[in-house]
Amino acid sequence: MAFEDHRAHPRANLRWPVSVQLSGAVAEGVTKDISEGGAYVCCTNPLGPNEVLDMVINAPDKPLNVKAEVVWSSMSGLDDEITPGGMGVRFLNIGSEDKRIIAKAVAEHLSEDMESEELQASMFDTLEID
């Protein structure tokens, strides 16, 4: 049975540096994937569910200031390359311009992925098997 993604917003595998601030402490991480509504942040000491935190996401265009809530966290996955330790966060407060920056980056990334898949499919179609 295939996994169905029921998220409200498309998500892309974009690696952007993140600074997480909670109670005066700052931790560093990097997004594994991101959407207009949230992100998975890889970090060595993820916070627990329901923690509310301030984040600065260092997008290529400009830093994005976001208030977020931890939805789930994991110290490490079965395979740290596939599911590294970190936390899934839902954005609670994000400016409309920052949301547009994320939406644009996600759309561009997904478009590049589709073009790459189409190119690979067309290359496969042109192969002749004897």
Which pTM value belongs to this model? Answer: 0.75
Residue 1 lies in a domain: no
| Cα–Cα distance, 112 to 12 (Å, whole number) | 11
Q: Is the pLDDT of residue 129 over 80?
A: no
Strand segments, DSSP code E, in 9-128 are 17-22, 25-34, 38-42, 52-58, 63-74, 86-94
Question: Residue 44 domain-assigned?
Answer: yes
Q: What is the tens place of the pLDDT at every residue in 83-116?
A: 678 999 999 999 999 999 999 999 997 776 554 4
Identify whether 5 is part of a domain: no
On whether residue 47 sits in a domain, the answer given is yes
Q: What is the CATH number of the domain that holds 23?
A: 2.40.10.220
The domain tally of the chain equals 1
pLDDT greater at residue 118 or residue 46: 46
Q: How many CB atoms lie within 10 A of CB 39?
A: 28
Confidence band of 36 (pLDDT split at 50, 70, 90): very high
CA–CA distance, 122 with 124 (Å, rounded to integer): 5
- pLDDT of 59 > 60? The answer is yes
pLDDT band at 7 (very low <50, low <70, confident <90, very high): low
Confidence of residue 6 (pLDDT cuts 50, 70, 90): low
Would you say residue 7 lies in a domain? no
Q: Does 4 map to a domain?
A: no
Q: Is residue 42 part of a domain?
A: yes
Domain range enclosing 73: 17-126
Q: Dihedrals φ, ψ of 105, to 5°?
A: -65, -40
Q: 91 lies in a domain?
A: yes
